[in-house]
């Protein structure tokens, strides 16, 4: 998408697509403003009867504040850090399964199952539930296309409605078993009242489950796959990282910037707003293009250059402000563990074919559908 962003931004950082009546923001300042200024840019982009209106990310204050407080209980920094050994174990298991094979698909065999298993375990779900989680997640991710309207949107909505019913039933079963077992996992914390007696409603819990399956899975999958892709495309940086493993943290931040897993979010204007001399009227759909903002030459020196030591790196990959990603510490941890394990196990990694990689099937995320690797232990 990057040459396309450049092309658009060369005309104006604020672009109106008259066919869809969507306003795209392409520079760091306006993207940051739209993500942050919730008085003007509302997150309530879906109409209330829709299930997605229950999702934290599509709510404004004051409901957002209440929901966020209830759900972040499951993501306390200590709870996240405590997951590291289990994530490492899962990563090792997945990589061990590739042993003795000439090539394997990094996406299907590592970058997809790792975050998916982490999410499923957060919910205390057994391994046999994983195929269902994967299917649900695929349907939810495809929702992004519905902004384009038309026949494809109708089909996606019908699939989503069916999946919502399935998930509602599944969650009810899981919640009951949790109440009985009285365990200490994310789901158990989510079904309990907080200190003030506040409780998530059944639809709010289901909405959060759906949000986690999309926000918490596909994004981290893309981060891991994009990290490998970036390093393979920049052998000098890969060699630097091998020589200096302490650079892993800044390397992952650079992947988040250079090839942002979430390329865009959605907002709707509550009042007319002027940006770069153009006025966006009230009630219009706006897309802050995170991927473009993260390559804005006015914010980043040499923005197309991939530099694993870049610091400071004020990218917007996890958003900004009250909606800043709840899962940022978890996905950073997953990416660090995943990359650490890959680099430790394989002294050599290369693409097993040189076909151009295909982007995944969703409008607002970026990552390869497959990435076949040939690796040497
Ligand atoms: C919100 C990106 C991983 C849960 C967001 C937002 C972005 C984002 C850009 C802001 C949305 C907005 O402003 O409208 C990412 C990226 C990830 C990632 C790039 C991985 C590389 C995760 C994970 C979880 C998660 C692992 C949970 C397990 C959430 C939630 C929100 C959110 C619940 C909504 C927060 C709110 O509205 O207050 N994420 N995310 N994300 N993310 Fe993530």
Q: Ligand 1: does its nearest atom lie under 6 Å from the Cβ of 31?
A: no
How far, in Å, CA of 318 to CA of 36, rounded? 12
Q: Is the pLDDT of residue 28 over 70?
A: yes
The listed range with the strongest mean pLDDT (42-51, 139-148, 246-255) is 246-255
- What pLDDT is stored for residue 110 in this prediction? 97
- Please choose from 32, 327, 332 the residue to mutate so as to test ligand 1's pocket, defined by most ligand atoms within 8 A of CB: 327
**Mean pLDDT throughout 105-120?**
93
DSSP code of 12?
A: -
The H or E element that residue 280 is part of is strand 278-280
pLDDT band at 90 (very low <50, low <70, confident <90, very high): very high
Q: State the sign of the Cα–Cα–Cα–Cα dihedral 102, 103, 108, 111.
A: positive
Where is 274: in which H helix or E strand? strand 273-275
The residue ranges of every structural domain in the chain are: 36-41+50-258+321-361
Cα distances (angstroms) measured from residue 374 to each of 98, 103, 219, 343 = 10, 5, 24, 13
Per-residue confidence band for 200, with pLDDT thresholds at 50, 70 and 90 = confident
DSSP H or E segment with residue 93: helix 84-96
Identify which of 325, 335, 339, 366 to mutate to test ligand 1's pocket (most ligand atoms within 8 A of the CB). Answer: 325
pLDDT on residue 189: 78
pLDDT band, very low/low/confident/very high, at 68 (cuts 50, 70, 90): very high
- Centre of ligand 1 to C-alpha 205, Å, is 17
The token duo for 185 is 């996992």
Counting Cα atoms < 13 Å in the Cβ hemisphere of 87 gives 25
Write out the two tokens for 356.
Answer: 């151009």
**Are 298 and 292 spatial neighbours (Cβ–Cβ below 8 Å)?**
no
Of 118, 124, 212, residue with least CA distance to 175:
124
CA–CA gap between residue 20 and residue 109 (Å, rounded)? 37
Whether residue 262 has its Cβ less than 6 Å from ligand 1: yes
Locate 326 and state its tokens. 């709840």
Number of helices (H) and strands (E), helices first, in the chain?
16, 10
Which one, of 62, 52, 27, lies nearest residue 322 by Cα? 62
168-189 per-position pLDDT tens digit: 999 888 777 665 555 667 777 7
156 touches ligand 1 (CB under 6 Å): no
User: Taking 90 as the threshold, does the pLDDT of residue 363 lie above it?
Assistant: no
Spatial separation of the C-alpha atoms in residues 326 and 318, rounded to whole Å = 9
Q: Is the CB of 255 under 6 A from ligand 1?
A: no
Whose C-alpha lies nearest to ligand 1, atom 38? 323
Is residue 157 within 8 Å of residue 170, measured between CB atoms?
Answer: no
Q: Model ipTM?
A: 0.98
C-alpha 254/C-alpha 250 separation (Å) is 6
Task: Give residues with Cβ within 8 angstroms of 29, minimum separation 6.
Answer: 298, 299
With the most atoms of ligand 1 within 8 angstroms of its CB, the residue from 256, 318, 367 to mutate is: 318
Fold type of domain 36-41+50-258+321-361: Cytochrome p450 (1.10.630)
Average pLDDT, the chain: 90
For the segment 235-284, what is each residue's pLDDT rounded down to a tens digit?
A: 999 999 999 999 999 999 999 999 999 999 999 999 999 999 999 999 99
- Tell me the mean pLDDT in the region 62-78: 88
What does the chain come to in residues? 377
Helix (H, G, I), strand (E, B) or coil at 151: helix
Do residues 266 and 287 make contact, with C-beta atoms less than 8 angstroms apart? yes
What's the 215 CA to ligand 1 centre distance in angstroms?
Answer: 5
d(C-alpha 309, C-alpha 115), whole Å = 26
Range name among 96-110, 142-156, 288-302 with the lowest pLDDT average: 142-156
């Amino acid at each position: 998408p990057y040459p396309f962003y450049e092309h658009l931004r060369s005309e104006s950082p604020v672009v109106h697509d008259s066919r869809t009546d969507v306003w795209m923001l392409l520079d760091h300042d306006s993207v940051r403003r739209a993500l942050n200024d919730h008085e003007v840019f509302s997150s309530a982009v879906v109409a209330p009867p829709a299930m997605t209106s229950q999702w934290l990310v599509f709510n404004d204050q004051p409901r957002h504040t209440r929901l966020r407080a209830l759900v972040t209980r499951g993501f306390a920094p200590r709870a996240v850090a405590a997951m590291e050994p289990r994530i490492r174990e899962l990563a090792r298991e997945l990589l061990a399964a590739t042993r003795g094979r000439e090539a394997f698909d990094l996406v299907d065999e590592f970058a997809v199952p790792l975050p998916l298993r982490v999410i499923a375990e957060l919910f205390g779900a057994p391994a046999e539930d994983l195929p269902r989680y994967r299917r649900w997640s695929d349907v939810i991710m495809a929702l992004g296309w519905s902004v384009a309207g038309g026949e494809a949107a109708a089909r996606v909505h019908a699939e989503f409605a069916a999946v919502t019913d399935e998930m509602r039933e599944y969650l009810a079963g899981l919640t009951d078993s949790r109440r009985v077992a009285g365990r200490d996992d994310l789901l158990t914390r989510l079904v309990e009242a907080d200190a003030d007696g506040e409780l998530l409603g059944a639809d709010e819990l289901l909405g959060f489950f759906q949000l986690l399956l999309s926000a918490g899975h596909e994004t981290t999958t893309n981060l891991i796959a994009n990290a490998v892709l970036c390093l393979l495309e920049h052998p000098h940086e890969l060699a630097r990282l091998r020589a200096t493993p302490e650079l892993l943290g800044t390397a992952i931040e650079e992947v988040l910037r250079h090839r942002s897993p979430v390329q865009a979010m959605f907002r709707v204007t509550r009042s007319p707003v002027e940006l770069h001399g153009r006025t966006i009227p009230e009630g219009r759909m706006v897309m802050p293009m995170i991927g473009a903002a993260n390559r804005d030459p006015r914010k980043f020196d040499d923005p197309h250059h991939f530099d694993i030591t870049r610091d400071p790196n004020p990218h917007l990959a996890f958003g900004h402000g009250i909606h800043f990603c709840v899962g940022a510490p978890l996905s950073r941890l997953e990416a660090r563990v995943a990359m650490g394990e890959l680099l430790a196990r394989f002294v050599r990694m290369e693409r097993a074919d040189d076909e151009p990689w295909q982007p995944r099937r969703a409008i607002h995320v970026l990552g390869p559908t497959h990435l076949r690797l040939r690796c040497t232990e």
